[in-house]
Amino acid sequence: MRKLSLLLAAFLFFTGSLLAQKILTGKITDETGAPVGGVSVVVKSAPSIGTVTGIDGNFSLTVPAGTTATELLVSSVGYETFTAAINDRTTIDVRIKSAASSLENVVITGYGTTAKKAFTGSTTPVNINNVRNQTFGSFDQALQGAGAGVSVVANSGQPGSNAIVRVRGNGSINGGNVPLYIMDGIEITAADFASINQGDFERLEILKDAVATGQYGSRGANGVVVITTRRGRAGTLMLNYDAQVGFSDLPENRLEVMNSSQKIDYELQRGNPYGWSVAEQDSLRNVNFNWQDALFRTGITQQHQISASGGNDKSHFYGSLSYMNQEGIVKTTGLKRYTARVNMDHVVKNWKFGLNLQGGFSNIVGTGEGNTFLSSPLNAIRWSNPYERDRNPVTGEYQETGGANTGQLTSGQPNGAMELFLNQNSSRQVKGIATSFIEFNFPFLKGLYARTNWGIDYSQVEGSGYTDRRTSTGIARQGNLTRSNSRTFRYTGTTSLNFKRTFGDHDIDFGAFTEVVKSEGRSFGFTGFGLTNGLINEGGITPGSVANPNFIPTVTGGGTENGILSYFGIGSYGYKGKYYVSGVVRRDGSSRFGYDNRWATFGSVGVNWVISDENFMSNILWMDLLKLRLSYGTNGNNSTAAGDFGQLPQLGRVNYAGINGLAVSAPGNLNYRWETNRTKNIGIDFGFFRNRLSGTVDVYDRETIDLFYDQPTAPETGFTSLPGNTGRLRNRGIEFTLRGTVIQRKDFRWSIEGNITYNQNKVLELPTDSIVSGLNLLAVGKPVGTFYLVRYAGVSAATGNALYYKRDGSITQVYSVADAVTHGTSVSPLYGGISTSLEYKGIDLSAQVNFFLKREMYNNDRNNVINPTYYFDNMAVEMLREWTKPGDITDVPRPSSSGGNSFQASTTRLLENANFWRLRNVTLGYSIPQSVLSRVGFRTARFFVQAQNWFTETKFQSFDPEFSGGSLTGAQYPALVQTTVGLTIGF
């Protein structure tokens, strides 16, 4: 009986507990009604009580007795956090909104956010996934083809090299054309990119017209790239691990050079200059040494990142650690990078605080590029004769067939293998960025708040270079050792008082700001010589003296210092959600100019009419959005050609009669002043068929006045020119972006996006009508980058001499620089990109193509191997077509240097069509179903394979047409062909 009583009591207690518990069930779906798996559902007041939805979006959550539960917090990566009231319900269905779609409806300007509908300016939002998931050492290379009005050229494939980015053309001739980069409210520079992890980015927006960039006044003339980093969201702790492994190779070689047998035949036509015997000729013909294999490799890249994020309704945090190791395709070159980031914010009543900390370390081992680096392996693979090897096949020692202890081959050129493997060149950067903000919302007036944001950006770069005494470049001074150290420090402080509120039909947003930006830099370096004792550190340097001047070390040093103080106001007003006007007035003072020109005022105004919301449009049901934008404004550019002190005379070291001293090395100009941009913009935004077809059209006119351009001065001053402002330059263009969702079903989605830009660049005014500089002409009425060359007309079949067009169109065998005329430009006026993505259940496929058209380049790479004067080096195969006898029909003239037929490089023979289409990226991914992941405790898991630069269509004869200069350097590190596999796991 006693046992029965105990059993009954236990049963009643257990039943009571069950009745006291509360079981909540429901389903989480997205905006289309599709279920969302892997969503965190927790009790807001007790975050430890929670669960995760299954692949069908369903969840079941037990709330223990005694737990106060009034709200559920629903969160997931890629979606907005949603709070659902429980009330008396036990079944709670929630539809969550994509964070991406939410972000797409907001424009981030760096000083705040604006609803896209209300924004009167022009911007290009960048698909952040395209930036995060690519294995570039510098994130700006991932912007190629990303948006209209933005030209991005990968100037070098060397690990850690940044791209050349231009927003709406070149707005300056001698000043800076680089856009302003803002990350979490402070300025960063392209030199920082190799130490920044793009996996931490949340949003990237490119501001283009005067309204969008006007908030930055004197710094916004060349466009603004605004980056915001990831932040935590309320909900359970989320952990993510990302890993990528990639393989890089050289692109296709479109400039064929001779093999051993061809080169021997070519030399025999020159009279056998090296005196090879018949036996030696036969032996050398079979060598065909592959210099490319000796100096290049398949580079392996590894990238790993661990991140964590979370928070509650008061506090949020995000943290990450990353590691990248990128091997260059040139042996010994590469990049190693380590980064760490912590972002935090907290709310206490009317106060909000935030802190962002980022640290980075990078080590770059590089190689020289360009014709000036004769020892570069990028030159060696063209110039080195194929019948010579890098090492003696018997002894294994480096070949020095050009003479013992010369480091040279038979041709007299450096042995590229010795230069690459014996010499060293590295750069180590330590990077630190910290930003913080405090925001206070005034309780007595809704919408009124004050905010102050301060940030610092610190970099230290240590350079180290060693040239071995055995190499061709080091033998003259018995080797050398170079050490350099530079430090830069920049701080930015912004304080504002803002008011943002809606009164009925009226939307008001105004802010008054003050800002200070201060930059300082110091550098020091030395090069010591005479490393005769075998040491490759400072202890190996031989002290120099008057008696031994060849070993006297060289010492360098310098400093920079500049600052900007600003006062500005930003405001916008909207009426009935259809009519908007916004404006900026900014007063900037820069230390780079003289006292009378230090301060300048810039401003802009824009209007916006949402036509689709008018009553007379209500019957057009297929039109979701039709918006007209107009803007006008001015921006400044203080990135001067004269540096930080163009207004002041510069002193330099001189030696007179054996006595060292200081003298004025560059004159100053107190009238030196800002470059000013005047920009007009007309834009239309549209969306049709529930926004399944949407796009943007912008037409702009950007004129730069008071160009930074040196002015001639009287010879008696001791100088030919001084820093000044003169001339005008214009960029006019049209941009078009079109996005379409071709198919949208429950399990299948296909979308396409394309953009195209036409930008006409023209010089309007110069001190003189035209200025010749090397291969280029700067002339009124012509674009910057115009070529100025004599036209090549082929080869005379009778004499074998080269033919040229005279200015009057007649043909002559006499070359004259007076017959040079203008040709195309190296700066492409027509460029764009096309991308597409498909999603089917857990499979995703995306591809991106970009193009540059109406573009020409002088092929200096080819110049080096078709100049018959260099017959001792290897030559291009086309040289086998040289004219040899009367009647020969060919395009390669006879090699004689007599009779006025010497080789002339400054002709259109070397000017080539440099248009190209490039398959920039293809990615195939698979996300594992939630039903499988739940068994192993994972929240998400995705595998992918990615191909970059796999195919390029071009007529340009070299490895890579993607180069920003007017001529190919002859030793350019080409863009890499990469294949990457990756994994992303969420816990």
Same structural domain, 122 and 93: no
Biggest alpha carbon distance in the chain? 130
- 71 plus 135 within the same structural domain: no
DSSP 688-746: ETTTTEEEEEEEEEEEEES-B--EE--GGGT-SEE--B--EEEEEEEEEEEEEEEEE-S
210, 634 Cβ separation under 8 angstroms: yes
- Please indicate, yes or no, whether residues 134 and 212 belong to a single structural domain of this protein: yes
- Give me 370's structure tokens: 């360009």
Which carries the bigger pLDDT value, residue 40 or residue 946? 946
Question: 182 has which bridge partners?
Answer: 187, 226
- The torsion region of residue 899 among left (phi > 0), alpha (psi -120 to 50) and beta comes to left
**Does residue 211 fall inside a structural domain?**
yes
Confidence of residue 336 (pLDDT cuts 50, 70, 90): very high
Structural domain includes residue 89: yes
- On whether residue 117 sits in a domain, the answer given is yes
Give the tens place of pLDDT for each residue, 644-661: 666 666 677 776 666 667
Q: How many CB atoms lie within 10 A of CB 660?
A: 8
Whether 78 is in a domain gets the answer: yes
Query: Of 99, 124, 153, which closes a domain?
Result: 99
Token pair listed for 367: 């190689």
Compare 1 and 30 and report the one with higher pLDDT: 30
User: Which residue segment(s) compose the domain that 130 sits in?
Assistant: 101-234
Q: Is residue 214 situated within a structural domain?
A: yes
- Count the neighbouring beta carbons within 10 Å of the beta carbon of residue 807: 12
- Residues 692-748: pLDDT tens digits? 899 999 999 999 998 888 777 777 666 777 777 888 999 999 999 999 999 988 788
**260-269 and 278-285 are packed helices; what angle lies between their axes, rounded to 10 degrees?**
150
**Percent above pLDDT 90 for the chain:** 41
pLDDT, position 15: 41
Highest mean pLDDT among 63-77, 365-379, 712-726, 772-786: 772-786
Asked if residue 249 belongs to a domain, the reply is: no
Q: How many angstroms separate the CA atoms of 147 and 206, rounded?
A: 9
Long-range (24+ apart) CB contacts under 8 A made by 438-446 are 438/351, 438/352, 438/353, 439/351, 439/352, 439/353, 439/354, 440/350, 440/351, 440/352, 441/350, 441/351, 441/352, 442/350, 443/350, 445/499, 446/501
Q: Is the pLDDT of residue 461 over 50?
A: yes
Shared domain check, 201 and 95: no
Please indicate, yes or no, whether residues 125 and 170 belong to a single structural domain of this protein.
yes
Contacts of 766 (CB under 8 A, 6+ apart): 709, 726, 727, 778, 779, 780
CATH classification of the domain holding 143: 2.170.130.10
Asked if residue 794 lies in contact with residue 760, where contact means CB atoms within 8 angstroms, the answer is no
Residue 93 lies in a domain: yes
Structure confidence at residue 260 (pLDDT): 95
Q: Are residues 91 and 105 in the same domain?
A: no
Do residues 190 and 72 share a domain?
Answer: no
Distances (CA, A) of 253 to 248, 278, 960, 974: 15, 32, 8, 10
Interacting residues of 496 by C-beta distance below 8 A, sequence separation 6+ = 111, 450, 451, 452, 511, 512, 513, 514
Distance CA 41, CA 76 (A): 9
pLDDT tens per residue, range 825-876: 989 999 999 999 999 988 999 999 999 999 999 988 888 899 988 888 999 9
Write down the mean pLDDT value for the chain: 86
Full-model pTM: 0.85
Going by their DSSP bridges, the two strands 224-229 and 180-183 should be labelled as parallel
User: What is the number of structural domains in the chain?
Assistant: 2
- 766 token code pair: 């110069």
The confidence score (pLDDT) of residue 756 equals: 95
- From 982, 926, 864, select the one nearest 255 (Cα to Cα): 864
Taking each continuous run of H as one helix and of E as one strand, the counts in the chain are 11, 51
Residue 23 within any structural domain of the chain = yes
Q: What pLDDT digit, counting tens, does each position of 955-982 carry? A: 998 888 888 766 666 677 888 899 999 9
Which of 75, 99, 123 marks a domain boundary? 99
Residue 24's CATH number? 2.60.40.1120
Q: pLDDT confidence of 124, banded at 50, 70, 90?
A: confident
**Which residue in the block uniquely carries the two structure tokens 């105990």?**
6
Q: Are residues 218 and 141 in the same domain?
A: yes
Question: Which residue from 984, 982, 986 is spatially nearest to 247, judged by alpha carbons?
Answer: 982
Q: What are residue 298's phi and psi, to 5 degrees?
A: -85, 115
SS3 (DSSP) at 186: strand
Same domain, yes or no, for 49 and 160? Answer: no
Tell me which of 203-217, 320-334, 362-376, 882-896 is least confident. 362-376
Give SS3 for 280.
Answer: helix
Residue 315: what residue type? S
Distances (CA, A) of 123 to 133, 522, 697: 23, 36, 11
> If you average pLDDT over residues 361-385, what whole number do you get?
80
CA 284 and chain centroid, separation:
46
Q: Give the residue from 423, 316, 300 showing the smallest Cα distance to 373.
A: 423
**Same domain assignment for residues 72 and 156:** no
The SS3 of residue 513 is: strand
- Which of 179, 209, 234 marks a domain boundary? 234
Q: Does residue 76 sit in the same domain as residue 18? A: yes
Assess whether 75 and 133 both reside in one domain: no
